[in-house]
Structure 1
Amino acid sequence: MSCGCFGASTNKKKRTPPHTPAEIDGYPLDNIMHFSEKDLRFATDNYHPSKKIGRGGFGTVYQGTLKDGRQVAVKNLSVGSKQGVREFLTEIKTISHIKHPNLVELVGCCVQESNRTLVYEYVENNSLDRALLGKRSTNLELDWGKRSNICRGTARGLAFLHEEVVPHIVHRDIKASNILLDRDFNPKIGDFGLAKLFPDDITHISTRIAGTTGYLAPEYAMGGQLTMKADVYSFGVLILEIISGKSSVRTNWGGSNKFLLEWAWQLHEEGKLLELVDPEMVEFPEEEVIRYMKVAFFCTQAAASRRPLMSQVVDMLSKKIRLNEKQLTAPGFFQDSGESSLKKSSFESTSNQFSSAPASFTQVIPR
């Protein structure tokens, strides 16, 4: 994978206005471009409602144009939100120094009086969530070529975070609304406010549970034991959303109280997987689409140790690797009631989950 991990150094004195603090809560802010509130008000026409392009849990996002003509997305965090400030710092700590084609670039920030604002690159086609689940238009037609590219690109971005960046990064909130699409529908992972850094010598982190129902790995949702395999699980659910055009958060699929993953597994057991495919996608290669859904099941195995690494997922999606479906067991499901299909026996590690000729993976090793 060819990519630049670290941005070129810049002259911070020229970019940092005199009113900008050197740190927040003890964290230095000398590795990121600073904007004044005046700059950002100018860029967004004083945060005009017509410039609003999204709203998250911690603030509103506006489209803006910098004085040099660059298009940006300006995320203005809610004033007085302690959680918003934590998210603000986490974003800066996590991605201010890394670049990858499948990660949203953090351009800079504004720290002025009570204002906490993050400035990102602007992506033309908004979020995958809006493209999949919002009002469809002919301009946002998602054929199989686009959908498969979104799956592979997102997998590459996660593999970069998990295995190439040091310390490694667990995103913790992989979902359709956090995957942004550029002009050519290339995916970019965004919103790192819940991310955690993973040093090489750490196998898991005990942490508060955060994320979105429908995407949460059962072992994380039940016990707060976070590993990189939690992201792998969420990505598996995301594949099913991309193929079906349906939300994983809703629980009425298949004519009963089932999440999307549960319904997909039921269709798999009944030999009816193609019934999951989005009816908007008229033409598609059946064998390849079924293959992607089976990769989703490998990613969502009940035991984290049975899930592949993201670099292996990239290969499973990109190469003619023969999947060893005999090793495929029921995915893990988590319900808000606290119930889960995660059983004691599912924690047993297995091997030979997928193999290939000539390439071969014979052991899936938990990180």
Structure 2
Amino acid sequence: MQSTAVNLTGKHLLTLFDYSVEEVTYLLSEAAKGKKMFQNGESSSVLKGKSLGMIFENASTRTRVSFEVGMTQLGGHALFLSPKDLQIGRGEPIKDTANVLSRYVDAIMIRTNSHQTVEELAAHSSVPVINALTDAYHPCQALADALTIQEKKGKLAGLSLVYVGDGNNVAHSLMAVGAKTGMNVTISSPNGYEVDPIILKHAQDAGKQTGAVISLQADPHLAAKGADIVYTDVWTSMGYENEQSKHIQDLQAYQVNDELMAAAHKQAIFMHCLPAHRDEEVTGSVIDGTQSVVYDQAENRLHVQKAILRSVIAHNGITFGGL
């Protein structure tokens, strides 16, 4: 089966805003096909002989395991690179690291604190760079979230997702994926924790193409009213650990609990990108309850990463269905 309409070979994935509606739809379709193959016991060695360099400036469970296992399942190899393994940790310019790694590997995945670092790496890399998390965006997580919602609800367009809590990188990427898929996204955060207004405007503009409404609502219970998906994240993002006590105090009214879930649609699902702090941003009764799909989200990171890797490294006009 040949597919020439979408070809992502060599394309960086820094933010979903850089991808068209068709390209986002394609990645989700490829992830779903790949997951079905995996569940059916089918395998693919499409990335045989290919290598992924994985740069981690901070700790990770789901990101490292999903990318590393994904490369292995596709026949390739992944290298874990911490700051102490690279000369970046000793002050080597990002430009030099990008140029050198491009001579060794077929793609570079990076999880870093600064989005500027990812942009600089991509600017000097001749192989695709994948943003596995920055302070501004978390596109791989948002794609896994969209795949999970699609599985649970049968669609994305027209659904309503409310994100409650700190307007962080996860919130930014949820707005982006909503805008690209026609899913309405409402962000509910207190003063001082709002999403970046420039990213909000970008999402609202992008949503005009699909009919997605991207909005803000400070009152979490009003925001959650009738929602199909209720989503939250930790109140203290990486890099802000010294402000943890203040964040807990400021965000107490934004906890996802049974009362807030009751305001949502009775068939609503609860989502969290993990790791979670029970009885801070979400109660145990919600995250461990029947409406929670957090482990499905985590599992889908693997299938989304595989779709991204296969698409940007070795597309060649072939879909998962034709492997």
Greater C-alpha Rg: 1
- Give yes or no for TM over 0.5: no
TM-score (norm 2): 0.27
Higher relative contact order (CA 8 A, sep 6+): 2
